[in-house]
Amino acid sequence: MKGLRMENILLPIMRGKTVLVGIGNPLRGDDGFGPALISRLQGKTNLICIDAGNAPENYLGRIAREEPDTILLVDVAHLDLEPGQYRILQPEEILKCGLTTHDMSSRMLIEFLQNQTQADIFMLAVQPKNISLGEAMSECLITTLDEIEILILEGIHA
């Protein structure tokens, strides 16, 4: 889509004090999407960026202490889309099905954050291509990583 201006789907949700939480295991190919995005954004934004790795439960207290207005979880998820495609999920969509590739229940994560914060909670869910141990991130997800980085940086300067 070079040359075309895409609508920034993140603008309507990134309001007030925003915490971005990258979830995933960089040793499992595309599962490292969330941490890779956080790494790219470090030092480029005033957003609170947390690399929660594959144990987001270890960061729940830190997230709550930030008293955010918005929490955006970034993770790969089985969405039945083409690899690299993504959606913004509302809490009720996350709660309905265990979409992510991680051990901790999305339900537990969302419910804790809802009980401990007044934040609006969303998930930027990206369809992975390969989450095999020892694999590199797929080219299609690297392209999506580039796109999402631009959308976030444009969003904070809008």
CB 88 within 8 A of CB 126: no
* Sign, Cα dihedral of 115, 89, 100, 97: positive
pLDDT score of 25 more than 50: yes
pLDDT score of 2 more than 50: no
Residue 2 lies in a domain: no
Instruction: Give dist(CA 42, CA 50) in Å, integer.
Output: 9
pLDDT, position 147: 95
Instruction: Give dist(CA 121, CA 107) in Å, integer.
Output: 12
Phi first, then psi: give them for residue 97, nearest 5 degrees. Answer: -145, 145
Residue 116 lies in a domain: yes
Residue 109 lies in a domain: yes
CATH classification at residue 62: 3.40.50.1450
Residue 29 lies in a domain: yes
pLDDT tens-place string over residues 79-89: 899 999 999 99
Residue 53 lies in a domain: yes
Q: Of 33, 16, 24, 14, which Cα lies nearest the Cα of 85?
A: 33
Residue 66 lies in a domain: yes
pLDDT tens-place string over residues 92-141: 887 665 555 555 567 788 889 999 999 999 999 999 999 999 999 999 99
Task: Tell me which residue range forms the domain holding 85.
Answer: 18-156
Residue 3 — pLDDT band, cuts 50, 70, 90?
very low
In percent, the amount of the chain with pLDDT more than 90 equals 68
pTM: predicted TM-score of the whole model, two decimal places: 0.90
Residue 3 lies in a domain: no
Other residues' Cβ atoms within 10 Å of the Cβ of residue 143? 11
Instruction: Give dist(CA 73, CA 19) in Å, integer.
Output: 8
Counting the structural domains of the chain, the total is: 1
Residue 62 lies in a domain: yes
Instruction: Give dist(CA 40, CA 89) in Å, integer.
Output: 22
